Amino acid sequence: METIRLVLVLVGFIGVCQGYGSGAPPVACEDMTPGHVLNGNDSIPLSPSDEPSPFTVTVSEVEFGQGGQVEVTIQGSVNFAGFLLQARQDGEDEPVGTFSDLASDMKFVECSATYTEAAVTHTNSNPFDGDVTVTWTAPSTQIADVTFYATVASDHDNYWVMLESEKIIYSGFSVLYPKLCMVLLPMVAILNRFLG
């Protein structure tokens, strides 16, 4: 019985150590390192590439408010096999916000107790033959400025960790405030005219 249990545990570790064709696991959330090992030798971990990255992370907005939405795109000069994407506040390790508009070959990773859809990864080992774009929605509460981070693998052996987007600035206003102001300002002007 002990021998069977040992074999099952070892088989489980082999699956964890070989790489993740079904996406990044929760254990990769904090340092965003995929944990790939050298094929044929499970004791030799693969380090991130020190070559210039062929991938970039771009954003559609330069600032955001509470509940604001930003399109985030991972693009590259080569195809890529997998990725992990998060948004983090300045100086924080836990991702924030919520992603949406995921393609069928993407899924969420539970990287935050507060925001269960705050990290996105791939679902299979088929290479992506184009850019990946998802929508990020800011929390409805005040947060700090945000940077998007992506770990991207061109194949099992070559990956780049924590590629950064341009920082987007928290504007301090809810996305509802500008619309509300457009309604209230004329009313205030009318009241001021009659009361003044």
Provide the residue ranges of all domains of the chain, joining segments of one domain with +.
Answer: 2-175
The pLDDT value recorded for residue 3 is 39
Tokens of residue 155, six digits? 């194949």
Percent of the chain with pLDDT over 70: 76
Query: Quick count: other Cβ atoms within 10 Å of Cβ 185?
Result: 10
Q: For the chain, how are helix, strand and coil distributed in percent, rounded to 5?
A: 20, 35, 45
Taking a C-beta distance cutoff of 8 angstroms, is the pair 121, 106 a contact? yes
Return the biggest CA–CA distance within the chain. Answer: 89
Specify the CATH number of the domain 2-175.
2.60.40.4060
Q: Return the top range by mean pLDDT from 1-5, 127-131, 178-182.
A: 127-131
Task: Name residue 99's beta-bridge partners.
Answer: 136
CA separation, residue 95 to residues 77, 98, 159, 163 (Å)? 27, 9, 21, 15
Average confidence (pLDDT) over 140-152: 96
Query: Is pLDDT of 174 > 60?
Result: no
- β-strand pairing of 82-89 with 119-122: antiparallel
Taking a C-beta distance cutoff of 8 angstroms, is the pair 170, 142 a contact? yes
Give the position of tokens 């969420």: 108
Query: Is pLDDT of 192 > 70?
Result: no
Look up the pTM and report it: 0.76
Chain CA centroid to CA 110, Å:
11
Taking a C-beta distance cutoff of 8 angstroms, is the pair 44, 37 a contact? yes
What are phi and psi for residue 40, nearest 5 degrees? 90, -10
What would the pLDDT profile of 93-129 be if each residue is shown by its tens digit? 999 999 999 999 999 999 999 999 999 999 987 788 8
* Sheet with 146-153: strands ordered across: 106-108, 119-122, 82-89, 146-153, 159-164
CA separation, residue 43 to residues 35, 172, 175 (Å)? 11, 48, 50
Q: Tell me which H or E stretch contains 134.
A: strand 132-137
